[in-house]
Chain A
Amino acid sequence: MKLVVSPCNTTGPFFPREFSDGNEDLTRRDGARARGEHIILAGRVLELGAKPTWNMVLEVWQADTNGIFRHPLDPRFAEVDPGFWGWGRARTDPDGWYRFRTVLPGGDQRIPHINCAVLGIGLTRRLVTTIFFTDAPDPVFDCVPGPELRQRLIARRDPSLNADGAAGYRFDVILRGEGETPFFVD
């Protein structure tokens, strides 16, 4: 017998900042530093009319520099980078900016990508999308119809975001309206 999945509801405006702060950096774990190319992944979360959203929560999940997930389902789990968490959380500031420090994920079965979920006011259920770095065949990327929409899922190199030896990449999340980010069925 299958049980019915519990109903989700919104985080509302008061998701504790203590739950986000300190989780924006995926590259330090147990005193070790992550291997691979460190990057700053940053951008703005905008709502209808290109207005910034404040206090939206972003969660990310990705493989390490070698494409290994920190999870026992990954056949190469034993070799996962000891300096890399794989999971992070950030919140947007009053101008809608979020910012992660992470590594450029490696690719194995999939092209390099970062799973991204958006939570916050107005979202009774999370929104999920995937951030890519190149346009190449991929079982999820290929589901997005047309090159124009697929381009919206590619993080762009942005030197103005460089920090502390990490290369800046820009990825804006447009929840609704012109240039709307493609989101996936969840």
Chain B
Amino acid sequence: MKPRAAGYQYSPYGDRTQTLRQIDRYNASFTRVPASPLIPRPVTLSEQTGPIELPRRWNAGKLALSRAVENGPRAVGQLIRVSGRVTDEDGSPAAGVVMEIWQANAAGKYVHAMDDHIAPLDPNFVGQGRLVTDEDGRYEVFTVKPGAYPVLYSGWWWRPPHIHFSILGQSWMNRFITQIFFPGEPLNETDLLLNGVPSHDVRERLIFEHGDTVMGDLSYINYRRDFVLRGHRRTPELA
């Protein structure tokens, strides 16, 4: 990966372009988000730097979630290809950075000890993995479309299908985690986390773009989502 120039700048995340910190009826946000205001601080070398060796440490490269093992049986569900490009605020590629992906299976069940939902696991679906973006910041993963699932304690809340993304940039300041939803899902209308945003525009950026369908030896549906990590180069001063 190419190191970033020292002139890289990071502005605080804007409240108008980000998910709200506290969301009505999302109870944990009222017991875990600090009551005191966040404290402004300068960004020093300590925060401008970050882990650059994670691809090697984790031996990450390409990722496919549509099978548990290479050439093994396909996981149950609708085969999809999720892809996009990761850039900084200038549109420059975030090349060679680790992306972590996790999701429920087609029945809405996670391979996770904390998932109490009575839905079947799929032996051909592990539901999580890591990849590394290419030189142009692009990523792609074949997987199956996740199912919806109930948030059992809530008594009403069903999560619409979504995929979780975690990106570890080359700086402590551009660490990024989100979840991306599917277009046209009825449950999108009632989901607390998708709708806990300040504007329609922010909401749209939490939803995949529906791409083309592909028919051939491998038939699948494309879903696309680009990500913009925080960070831009300092504007050059006029000579």
Instruction: Give CA–CA (A176, B40) in the complex, Å.
Output: 18
What is the 8 Å Cβ interface bit string for chain A, positions 73-107, against chain B (1 contact, 0 not)? Answer: 11000000000011100000000000000000000
A85 touching B128 in the complex, CB below 8 Å, given contacts A4-B17, A12-B179, A69-B46: no
Partner of A69 from B45, B54, B87, B175 at Cβ < 8 Å: B45
Task: With a 10 A CB-CB cut-off, give which of B39, B42, B206 has the most chain A CB atoms.
Answer: B39
* Residue among B19, B28, B53, B115 facing the most chain A CB atoms (10 A cut-off): B28
CB contact between B51 and one of A1, A6, A87, A109 (< 8 Å): that residue: A87
Least CB separation from A11: chain B residue: B177
5 extra interface residue pairs, beta carbon distance < 8 Å, beyond A5-B13, A19-B102, A185-B41: A8-B178, A47-B31, A54-B114, A74-B45, A127-B33
- In the complex, how many residue pairs between chain A and chain B have their CB atoms under 8 Å apart? 223
Interface of B is mostly: loop
CA A69 to CA B102, docked complex, whole Å: 30
Is the CB–CB distance between B112 and A14 below 8 Å? yes
Bound-state Cα–Cα, A175 to B32, Å = 5
A124 with B175: CB separation less than 8 A: no
Q: How large is the interface on A (under 10, 10 to 19, 20 to 34, 35 or more residues)?
A: 35 or more
**In the assembled complex, B136 has its CB within 8 A of some CB on chain A:** no
- Kindly state whether residue A162 has any CB partner on chain B within 8 Å: no
Q: Which residues of A contact B (CB under 8 A)?
A: 1-19, 47-49, 51, 53-55, 59, 61-63, 69-74, 85-87, 109-110, 113, 115, 117, 119-127, 130, 139-140, 143-145, 175-177, 180-186
